Structure 1
Amino acid sequence: MPLDIETPLPYQRDHRCPFDPGPALRDAQRTAPVHRYRLPDGQDIWVVTRYEEVRRMLTDPRLSSARTPLTLMLPGVDDTGVRVSPGSFVNMDPPEHTRLRRTVTSSFTARRMRELAPRLERIAEDRLDAMERTGPPADFMTEFASPFPLLAICELLGLTEEQRAEYLRITAMAPGLAATPEEAQELLTAAGRLMSDAVAAQREAPGDGMIGMLVKEHGHELDDEEIAGISSMFLTAGFDTVANTLGLGLLALFDNPGQLALLRDEPAVLDTAVEELMRYLSVISATGGRTATEDVELGGVTIKAGEYVVPALAVANRDPAHFDDPDRLDLTRTPAQQVGFGHGVHRCIGGAMTLLEMRIAFSAVLRRFPGIRLAVPPEDVRYRGYDMVHGALAIPVTW
């Protein structure tokens, strides 16, 4: 059974609008940009809410990812035996982080994105074909927003059709952060076994995806566990965030019909539109946090050695000190370095892939279904509760 827990401050949303940060975060941004907060399990953390302070903390080498418990934001989960998976460099500090991140840079170059684009466009069209066959009303999350990015990242990794189908099955069972430790472990075990099998197969016959590239170019320095860990990290991070950005993005466009018409009729705005949707939605409300390795001054307060700091990305992306009229969705807005991908050495290396998927997805959906609209009243759409990634549970649409 899911745990009955309060949603911690960094993940709170305004119940009046699914796209906006919660009122408590807004208050903290105005009055205490580095805000002391007690988690539901009684542990104290610092929550950083302003754009400049968030960027500063994400580049401060005295704030460690490696020393932060993986269970910091998981009330009720015992951290005994929980460890960073080999290859999961987002939970590491330099130089280990640098060593592992370097092995995947060639998978996210502009050239690699151009090579992937036609295949991702085909995946998008295949999913829309299936959605059209289902007929309206259809659940946009189930029919398109969830399977498209999962299949896209599987394409990047070079997984087989059978492995892709199995991962779709596993992700359909994901219960979110409110899962019991047993549920979470069962899911992790199944996903880990799938990836280990994929790596073992590509040791024998490397393909042209990321796993094959890691085997061919770095197989002498990376063991199978590390390659599986790197691949699992991208599969997990590259699926849920994009799926929920697509879902919430469509809802935000429904809420702003002038912007929807602009994106549908003026494809030239795609590049600024996807950056603006990343900023406006910020489906990753907060990253996992950092641990101070020594006393650090930030936003007028002293974070003592050993204390935890969590950047509230969603409210930082609505900071009026940095963004003009931040609560307005403006698809022509000149990009202003939104922090939805993080910042510094840990900035999401897959950001280019995410933006490519968003450009392809929104373009394909609005071209195929120019009259797409909600099939239920907006107030009937239900949203995730306490979860690392914010989103809608289902989005019934018609066209």
Structure 2
Amino acid sequence: MPLDIETPLPYQRDPACPFDPGSALREAQRNDPVHKYRLPDGRDIWVVTRYDDVRQMFTDPRLSSALTPYTLMLPGLDDTGLKVPPGSFVNMDPPHHTRLRRMVASSFTNRRMKELAPRLERIAEDCLDAMERTGQPADFMTGFAFPFPLLAICELLGLTDEQRDAYLDLTTRATGLAATPEEAHQLLAEAQRLMSDAVAAQRATPGDGMIGMLVEEQGHDVDDEEIVGISNMHLTAGLDTVANTLGLGVLALFDNPGQLALLRDDPAVLDTAVEELMRYLSVISATGGRTATEDLELGGVTIRAGEYVVPALAVANRDPAHYDDPDRLDLTRTPAQQIGFGHGVHRCIGGAMTLMEMRIGFSAVLRRFPELRLAVPREDVVYRGYNMVHGALAIPVRW
């Protein structure tokens, strides 16, 4: 059962349009851009709503990821139950963050992305084959949006077909961050076990993916727990983000038929299109936040040592001071400069992989199904409740 808990300000969306930030966020951006807000569990946070202030907070070394409670933005989960896993370097500060990030950097080079691209194109076609076999109408989320990025990340990691099937089964049973604490713990424990088994197997016989590379190149400088944490971090972070950008992306394109036709008919627009869809949709409404290690100024407000700061990415990506006509979807917008990947030392190391998956995914879908359309009235689409990644529960389509 989902928790009966209000949606915190950084995650609020406009009830009239699932793509737009909520009215309270818009009001804060206009009149109180670094906004004090009390979470449902009683903790206070500073919500940062303007683009320039968000960029500043991402680069300020006085704002710590490591000191921020892992459960700050998770509903109903206490800090004694969930700790930062070893290897999850997004929740670390330098030098620990730097050490682990450098270890995986070779998995995200331009050369590695070029090597992966043909495999990902094949995976996309296989997923579309399977969706087509199910017949019409089909759920775009379970038919393509989730299996494609999951299998793509498994390819990056170097998991076996059996391991990929196990993760695919796990994702179909996952209920997201609106699950009960017991369900969340159970799902996390199962994901941990699956990856632990995969790492142990590759410690004995390294493959050609990221896990095998860490085993072979880093040797005794990284232990199995850290490899498990690194791998699960990439799997969970990349899966939900890409899946829901693909899902909400097709809905946004249905709502903007001129932009849909442009993307379908002109492959040259792909690079700016995927950045613009990330900006416009901002499925990661906010990140986990930072903790001030000393007093500092941000957006004209004094943040005291020990206070929490959370960037509201969905509204920062619609900042009228930074974007012309920010509420308009324009697939030719350049430079897009969306801030969904973060900024500074914590900028998403898998950003190139994410963009490649979305270029391949949108291109494959529109090439295979040029007449793709909703199979239900627009108002019948149901969206996730309180969740760190925004999206639709199902998107029935015909083609």
TM-score (norm 1): 0.99
Paired position in structure 2 for 1:225: 225
| 8 A contact 2:26–2:315 mirrored in 1 | yes
CA distance in 2, matches of 1:377, 1:259: 20
CA distance in 2, matches of 1:290, 1:6: 22
CA distance in 1, matches of 2:75, 2:375: 36
Paired position in structure 1 for 2:143: 143
Query: Once the 2 structures are TM-superposed, how far is the Cα of residue 81 of structure 1 from its aligned partner?
Result: 4.4
Number of equivalent positions: 399
Query: Once the 2 structures are TM-superposed, how far is the Cα of residue 61 of structure 1 from its aligned partner?
Result: 0.3
CA displacement 1:7-51 (0-9 Å, x = unmatched): 000000001001001000000000011000011111110000000
Q: 1:239 aligned to 2:239?
A: yes
Paired position in structure 1 for 2:46: 46
Task: List structure 1 segments (4+ residues) > 4 angstroms apart after TM superposition.
Answer: none
Paired position in structure 1 for 2:115: 115
Paired position in structure 1 for 2:294: 294
Q: How does 1:71-90 map to 2 (within 5 A)?
A: 71-90=71-90
CA distance in 1, matches of 2:174, 2:348: 23
CA distance in 2, matches of 1:227, 1:77: 25
CA displacement 1:118-157 (0-9 Å, x = unmatched): 0000000001111111121100001000000000000000
Paired position in structure 2 for 1:271: 271
TM-score (norm 2): 0.99
Paired position in structure 1 for 2:95: 95
**Greater CA drift, 80-89 or 144-153:** 80-89
SS in 1 for 2:60: coil
| 8 A contact 2:382–2:393 mirrored in 1 | yes
| 8 A contact 1:287–1:313 mirrored in 2 | yes
| 8 A contact 2:70–2:83 mirrored in 1 | yes
Residue identity opposite 1:67 in structure 2: L
CA distance in 1, matches of 2:344, 2:287: 13
Q: How does 1:17-36 map to 2 (within 5 A)?
A: 17-36=17-36
Paired position in structure 2 for 1:173: 173
CA distance in 1, matches of 2:336, 2:397: 32
Query: Once the 2 structures are TM-superposed, how far is the Cα of residue 336 of structure 1 from its aligned partner?
Result: 3.4
Query: Once the 2 structures are TM-superposed, how far is the Cα of residue 337 of structure 1 from its aligned partner?
Result: 1.7
Residue identity opposite 1:64 in structure 2: S
Q: 1:337 aligned to 2:337?
A: yes
CA distance in 2, matches of 1:121, 1:40: 43
Query: Once the 2 structures are TM-superposed, how far is the Cα of residue 308 of structure 1 from its aligned partner?
Result: 0.3
SS in 2 for 1:35: strand
Paired position in structure 2 for 1:134: 134
Query: Once the 2 structures are TM-superposed, how far is the Cα of residue 75 of structure 1 from its aligned partner?
Result: 3.3
CA distance in 2, matches of 1:149, 1:5: 30
CA distance in 2, matches of 1:78, 1:138: 38
SS in 1 for 2:220: coil
Residue identity opposite 1:317 in structure 2: N
CA distance in 2, matches of 1:152, 1:112: 13
| 8 A contact 2:75–2:177 mirrored in 1 | no
RMSD: 0.7
CA distance in 1, matches of 2:273, 2:322: 18
| 8 A contact 1:276–1:335 mirrored in 2 | no
Residue identity opposite 2:326 in structure 1: P
**Greater CA drift, 246-255 or 166-175:** 166-175
Query: Once the 2 structures are TM-superposed, how far is the Cα of residue 252 of structure 1 from its aligned partner?
Result: 0.3
SS in 1 for 2:177: coil
**Greater CA drift, 310-319 or 168-177:** 168-177
**Greater CA drift, 66-75 or 377-386:** 66-75
Gapped runs of 5+ residues in structure 1?
A: none
Gapped runs of 5+ residues in structure 2?
A: none
Paired position in structure 1 for 2:161: 161
| 8 A contact 2:272–2:336 mirrored in 1 | no
| 8 A contact 2:47–2:311 mirrored in 1 | yes
SS in 2 for 1:172: helix
SS in 1 for 2:47: strand
